[in-house]
């Protein structure tokens, strides 16, 4: 199945979870947030949150500075 991640198409196994997506993309364990279809998904729900075909994800990485 295909999902959009920060406006780029990513191929995923059907019924993949956010945890699996984070691993596939090599995302850091800390300092990121993921929104699916404009709804923030708490990290505690990533393991059970199944992605659907054509979901639109935004991944936000924390940055230090000011």
Structural domain total, the chain: 1
pLDDT tens per residue across span 20-59: 999 999 999 889 999 999 999 999 999 999 999 999 999 9
Residue 31 gets which letter from DSSP?
Answer: S
Closest to 6 measured CA to CA, from 29, 25, 31, 30: 25
Please indicate, yes or no, if residue 10 is contained in any of the structural domains. Answer: yes
Please indicate, yes or no, if residue 52 is contained in any of the structural domains. Answer: yes
pLDDT band at 66 (very low <50, low <70, confident <90, very high): low
- Domain span including residue 31: 1-59
Please indicate, yes or no, if residue 65 is contained in any of the structural domains. Answer: no
Please indicate, yes or no, if residue 64 is contained in any of the structural domains. Answer: no
Say what the pTM is.
0.88
Write the CATH number for 45. 3.10.20.30
Closest to 34 measured CA to CA, from 53, 61, 9: 61
How far apart are the C-alpha atoms of 27 and 46, rounded to whole Å?
13
Please indicate, yes or no, if residue 38 is contained in any of the structural domains. Answer: yes
């Amino acid at each position: 199945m295909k999902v959009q991640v920060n406006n780029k198409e990513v191929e995923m196994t059907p019924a993949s979870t956010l945890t699996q997506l984070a691993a596939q993309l090599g995302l850091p364990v800390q300092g990121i947030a993921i929104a699916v279809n404009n709804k923030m998904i708490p990290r505690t729900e990533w393991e059970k949150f199944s992605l659907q075909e054509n979901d639109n994800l935004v991944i936000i990485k924390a940055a230090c500075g000011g």
